[in-house]
Amino acid sequence: PNTIHVPELALVALVGASSAGKSTFAARHFRPSEVLSSDTFRALVSDDENSLEATADAFESLFFVAGKRLARGRLTVVDATSVRPDDRRRLVDLARRHDVLPVAVVLDLPRNVLEERHAARPDRAFDPAVIGRQIAELRRTLRGLPKEGFRHVWVLRSPQEVEAARVERVP
């Protein structure tokens, strides 16, 4: 899909393993204030954007802000891996509570691409096997996204598709 249609009022879940390009995609297609990144919230609560220990507080804070935005009718993008159904379910529930459409943009790129990017990143020190597990979890559950409640599911499968993608806001 070259053109990704996103309702003016939506909760957009970016979905993909680490190094899939979620934050890059978000920065390219959305305003900075529209994007709530789990890493930003980890840093806000713990001064360490990689702190796994801070995950619960980070997400509680992220959901609080997301809820305030949606209540004000502001489009909101959640930049977190969201490869597990339980994580996505919470996003769908939040969207439903605020009567906005949950939309998923999935970055499902080849594993070797992600591993190469990961190796080149100074900001991600963890074992690349983590990426393999995230990709496996995503692919195992990807077909279930519409049933989870996402009204639109856009899947980008290569760097070329990501490069060509445009986001169009529709009323």
Task: Kindly list the residues in this chain that would bind ligand GTP in the complex (CB under 6 A).
Answer: 16, 18-24, 39, 81, 117, 121, 124, 159, 162-163
Under the criterion CB under 5 A, does residue 40 sit at the interface with Mg ion?
A: no
- Any idea what DSSP says for residue 169? E
Q: How far is CA 29 from the centre of its chain?
A: 13
93 vs 156: CA distance, rounded Å: 24
Under the criterion CB under 5 A, does residue 141 sit at the interface with Mg ion?
A: no
CB-nearer residue toward Mg ion: 111 or 151: 111
Nearest-approach distance from CB 72 to ligand GTP, in angstroms:
26
> How many amino acids of this chain bind Mg ion (CB under 5 A)?
1
7 by DSSP, 3-state: which? strand
Nearest-approach distance from CB 39 to Mg ion, in angstroms:
6
The stretch near Mg ion (CB under 5 A) out of 23-31, 53-61, 89-97, 128-136 is 23-31
Under the criterion CB under 5 A, does residue 24 sit at the interface with Mg ion?
A: no
Nearest-approach distance from CB 16 to Mg ion, in angstroms:
9
CB-nearer residue toward ligand GTP: 39 or 108: 39
Q: How many CB atoms lie under 10 A from the CB of residue 164?
A: 12
Contact 156, 29 (CB under 8 A): no
CB-nearer residue toward ligand GTP: 76 or 81: 81
Q: How many CB atoms lie under 10 A from the CB of residue 57?
A: 15
116 vs 105: CA distance, rounded Å: 22
66 vs 40: CA distance, rounded Å: 13
The site for Mg ion (CB under 5 A) is made up of 23
